[in-house]
Amino acid sequence: DTAGQERFRSLIPSYIRDSSVAVIVYDVASRQSFLNTSKWIEEVRTERGR
């Protein structure tokens, strides 16, 4: 997570590529946080090729 700081967004793909596992979590008090989980799942699938 980049905590909303877009300047770090470009680092995410390399972290995903080098990872063995991804854990997607969200804030139960934030609907937007939950809705963002699909974006993170898709990003992991894209980078990991699955």
Q: What is the pLDDT of residue 30?
A: 94
Delimit the domains of the chain by residue range: 6-48
**Binning pLDDT at 50, 70 and 90, where does residue 12 land?**
confident
Residue by residue, DSSP assigns 1-34 as: --TT-GGGGGGHHHHHHT-S-------TT-HHHH
Listed residue (6, 4, 45, 39) closest to 16, CA to CA:
45
Q: What is the pLDDT of residue 48?
A: 82
Kindly state the helix (H) or strand (E) to which residue 42 belongs, with its residue range.
helix 31-48
pTM of the model: 0.69
Top pLDDT among 46 and 3 is at 46
